[in-house]
């Protein structure tokens, strides 16, 4: 089944844009973080505290591989590109969409998010978060079939643009 995979940093709007894409395309939305939380049976922050980031990345790889096989609109976590295995899985996929945004936009969204507690960003300074962001940028770009600039666009407009661009890709 078709998989449209959304990648991008924390705060890029992967889940929100995924909801719009699902509504427009009729495909179901699978949120990788939500799948992982269901599997590990605890919040992501607690899993990081107990087992560390490397263990979380292992969970992420397993869930990514399972989800690609299922298909649908897949909203990934911002760190999906950190592990080489995940980058290899993404590169095999024809419909990987990088939701690109300026660092300041992303950082402000992360800071204003009352729901998601993010071990690598919540309670961190802008410089600490930038140090997480910077090395990932080339990985997002390399993994993507389509790059969509999202600053100052609504989720609905972005979803429309993604479907158009994938159709013409």
The least distance separating ligand S3P from the CB of residue 119, rounded to whole angstroms, comes to 5
Which residues here bind ligand S3P, judged by CB under 6 A?
10, 14, 33, 44, 77-79, 116, 118-120
Q: Which two tokens stand for residue 125?
A: 């300074």
The span from the CA of 52 to the CA of 83, in Å, is: 14
CB 150, CB 14: distance < 8 Å: no
Please enumerate in sequence order all residues whose Cβ is within 8 A of that of 92, keeping only pairs 6 or more positions apart, or say none: none
**Residue 125 or residue 168: which is nearer to ligand S3P going by CB?**
125
**Residue 72 or residue 77: which is nearer to ligand S3P going by CB?**
77
The least distance separating ligand S3P from the CB of residue 167, rounded to whole angstroms, comes to 26
148: which strand partners?
99
**Residue 104 or residue 164: which is nearer to ligand S3P going by CB?**
104
The least distance separating ligand S3P from the CB of residue 120, rounded to whole angstroms, comes to 5
């Amino acid at each position: 089944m078709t998989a449209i995979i959304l990648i991008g940093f924390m705060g890029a709007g992967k889940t929100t844009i995924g909801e719009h894409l699902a509504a427009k395309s009729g495909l179901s939305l699978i949120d990788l973080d939500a799948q992982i939380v269901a599997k590990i049976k605890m919040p992501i922050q607690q899993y990081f505290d107990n087992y560390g980031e490397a263990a979380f990345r292992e969970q992420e790889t397993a869930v990514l591989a399972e989800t690609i096989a299922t298909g649908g609109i897949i909203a990934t976590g911002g760190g999906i590109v950190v592990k080489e295995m995940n980058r290899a899985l993404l590169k095999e996929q024809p419909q990987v969409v990088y939701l690109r945004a300026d660092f300041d936009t992303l950082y402000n969204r992360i800071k204003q998010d009352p729901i998601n507690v993010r071990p690598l960003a919540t309670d961190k300074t802008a410089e600490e978060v930038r140090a997480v962001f910077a090395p990932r940028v080339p990985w997002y770009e390399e993994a993507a079939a389509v790059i969509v600039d999202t600053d100052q666009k609504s989720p609905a407009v972005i979803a429309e643009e993604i479907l158009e661009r994938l159709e013409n890709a």
